Structure 1
């Protein structure tokens, strides 16, 4: 097994793995990123996204795509894992663990204060894996997103006001 930084010629494979991940997460229709968009993000003039790949016998079988974050509370940068995926036929062979450990080591080498990611609440195998490496869930936080029409409307100062639903 080998873990290495992605190369430009890995982009089509990584993008296919992204699509495989989306399928696993029941969100295939949501993936619209092209190879050229991924290439620009990873290898453009000022890359802001980074990727490590895991290989078995010279074949890319998994990836970890990440970017740096920042915490105003700690005053230090962190690492946010956007996607982690290993092909089903090679799961259990240590590729995911090796990818995660590579990123954890990078955190230590760069003085990053935290390593964070999200997981779908129904993804029990991944949750068990994350608990197994010593991670803990941040149950008190709820993630929000503005996208599509809601993002456009809000950015343009749409006059529609939404009433917050009471929390249960």
Structure 2
């Protein structure tokens, strides 16, 4: 556990008891990002991905608790760089409840992920942020993160994914 914030904030690995809070925070994030209809993941999806009965997790999560309540999350998974030959960490979602922003909670979560990378000798901590999300862009830049403007993220979903896969 680490604590780069206030004494009443604890950053820790998510546990199975946190799944409902993770789903709630993801839905809040989807509303913030103006896509509430896209957040269709259920608690069961999160349990299967984060805490599988067999095999390795597909993703991991850390939460921030303040006064005993989960108020923020970071959901992430490992990546691999063929250029460095070593893993990295992809931050899928970082979200702090609006009423809890400005207290250092987002910084503490990001610092925990950076610590994981450093301790494991992983070479990258990466994520995507919506161009219009100026507060997030400024937050990440304030910590030394640099946008990768030479790259465009592509995504296959739905019918296009199935068509290419022949299913």
TM value normalised by structure 1:
0.92
RMSD, aligned CA: 0.9
Structure 2: gaps of 5 or more residues: 1-8
The 2-side partners of 1:110 and 1:19 are apart by 31
2:51 is equivalent to residue 43 of structure 1: yes
2:115 is equivalent to residue 105 of structure 1: yes
Aligned partner of 2:33 in structure 1 is 25
Kindly provide the CA deviation profile for residues 97-153 of structure 1, in whole angstroms up to 9, marking residues without a partner as x.
Answer: 000000000000111000000000000000000000010000000000110001111
Pairwise mapping of residues 65-80 of structure 1 onto structure 2 (< 5 A)?
Answer: 65-80=75-90
Aligned partner of 1:6 in structure 2 is 14
Aligned partner of 1:160 in structure 2 is none
The 2-side partners of 1:102 and 1:127 are apart by 19
Q: Greater RCO between the two (CA within 8 Å, min separation 6)?
A: 2
TM value normalised by structure 2:
0.92
The 1-side partners of 2:100 and 2:47 are apart by 26
Aligned positions, number = 157
The 2-side partners of 1:56 and 1:33 are apart by 25
Q: Quick check: which has more Rg, 1 or 2?
A: 1
Aligned partner of 1:140 in structure 2 is 150
Structure 1: gaps of 5 or more residues: 158-168
